[in-house]
Structure 1
Amino acid sequence: MQARERLPAKGERILSLRGVSKRFGAVSALTDIELDVHAGEVVALVGDNGAGKSTLVKVLAGVHQPTEGAIEYMGRPVTLDTPAKALEMGIATVFQDLALCENLDVVANLFLGHELSPWRLDEVQMEVRAWTLLKELAARIPSVREPVASLSGGQRQTVAIARSLLLDPRIIMLDEPTAALGVAQTAEVLNLIDRVRDRGLGVIIISHNMEDVRAVADRIVVLRLGRNNGVFTAEASHQDLVAAITGATENSVTRRHERLQAGAGGTNP
C-alpha cells in the first residue's frame, strides 16, 4: 500500500468534485455535481430514491468512474478507477450491508484481509489493536472475541466503522448507518459518528432520516434527479429540506407548518 497522505488540518478541504457527471448509456445518473468535504466535518447526502446518492458514493469509492468532471483529493487531481485505489488514497466506505462475517469474532472481522503477519497471525497484537481502537471510539462491545452474530445492529455498525478506521482513512462514507436500528442503537451510532469527526476525518453519510441527519451533519447536500438541489445547515427548516428533496414548495409538510403558524397566530392577543 502506498504512503498515506499527511493528516489534514481541521477545516482543510480534503475532497472536491467539480462538474462530475455519470451516464449509463442514455441514462444520466449524475449531472454537474459539485461537492466539497473538509477535515473534521460531517456532510449528509440526502434525496429521494433515484436522486443519485448511491451512484455518487460509488464514484467516490472507485466502483464507477465519472463520465465527465474533475475530482481533487488533498488539492491534487485524482482518478479513482478502482475500489483499491480509493482505499489506498484514504477513502473508506461502509456500505449498508456492512460485509461482516457473522461466524467470526470482532477481531477477525476487523482484520479480515489485513491480518498482521499473514503467514503467522499475531493474534495477541491484533486483539490489543482492536481493544485500543474500540476504546478510543468508546464503543460498547462486550468482548472482541464475541462472534458478530451475537451483536446488536448498532454494535455491528460499530465494528464495520472500526474496521474501516484501521486502514487510516482521511474520509469515511457511511451508507444508511442507522437504517433498521432502534432508538438506543441509533444514538450509539450517531455518537460514534461524532467521535469519528473529532478524530479529524471527513465523514459523508447517506440517510433518509432527517432527525439523524440534523443530529450529526455540519452540512446537508440535497440531490434531486442526479443534480445538486441545495446545501443546507442543520438549522434549516424541515419544510425547506422536504421542498428541496421533492422539488415542490407546496406539500403536506409545508401545509401543516402553515396551519400550525396560523393557529399560533390566532391565539395571540
Structure 2
Amino acid sequence: MGPVPAFRQIDVFTAVPLRGNPLAVVHDADDWSDEQMAQFANWTNLSETTFLQQPTDPRADYRVRIFTIAGELPFAGHPTIGSAHAWREAGGIPKAEGRIVQECGVGLVEVSYAERLAFAAPPLLRSGPVEPERLRSIGDALGLTPDHILDAAWIDNGPGWIGLEIDGAAHVLALDPDPTRMRGLKVGVLGRHDDSGPDGVEVEVRAFYSDGRDAGEDPVTGSLNAGMAQWLVGEGRLPERYVARQGTALGRDGRVHVHTTDGRIWVGGDAVTVLTGSVAV
C-alpha cells in the first residue's frame, strides 16, 4: 500500500471535544482501493470516514472520498468541515487565500475559513414536495400527525435527505422514532425555538437515517442543515443568518452556523482534533 498514512479523528461542529460529530480522516490515501476504503470505514463504525487524496481537477486543493459503514457518499457536510480541518492541520496550503476547494463526488465544493470553516451548499440533486404516501410513512415512523407537520420537502444534496419543519423545538426533542418504520428513510426534522432558545440558537434539528442495515440518529449533520437552509431560507421562512443546534437528544451539543452571502448559502462550524496517529493495515 506504500507509506503508512497519517490518521486523525476530528470532532466536528463543536469547539469542545466529545460534544460534536466524530469523523475519521485518513491522509495520503491515493493508493487505497475502493474495497480497502470501504472495509476501513466499516471498521471505524463511525457515521463517516474520509480519505484524502491528490485532486484530479487542477482547480481543487485536495480530493476526498467519503464512506459510511455501508458505502460511499458523493457529498456530506461534517466530513467536508472535518476533512478541511485535517488537511489544513497537516500543512495543507490552499491555492487561493481564504478559500479551500474540495473535490468530491458532487464536484467542487468551496470551503472558507475566515470566521470558521464553512462550506458553500452544493446544488440540490432533488427538491420539491414529498409524495403524500411517503410523507404519511414518515409521519407514522416519527409519531407525527399531519397537524404537527408545517411543511415537508426533498432537500437531497447527495445523502438523500427529506426535510420536515414541525411545530417547535420542544416537539423536535420529544420525537421517539420507530426504528422498524424508519427503514429506508432519511429524514431531517427542524423546529424553531421561542425567545428562550439557548445561546442565540434559533432552531433545533435532528437527523434520522437508515443505512439499509440499521436505523439511527446522526449527531450533527452538515448536509442536512445545508438542504434545510436552501429550502427554508430560500422561501423566506428562516433568516439569512442563524444558528442551529443538533445532537441534544444524544448528549451532544453541536452548533451549525448558517449565513448567506451574495445569494450563496454557507454552512459552518468549529472542529477540533481529538486523536492523531497512523494507520497500520
Shared fold per TM-score greater than 0.5: no
More strand by share: 2
TM-score by length of 1: 0.31
Higher relative contact order (CA 8 A, sep 6+): 1
TM-score by length of 2: 0.30
- Greater C-alpha Rg: 1
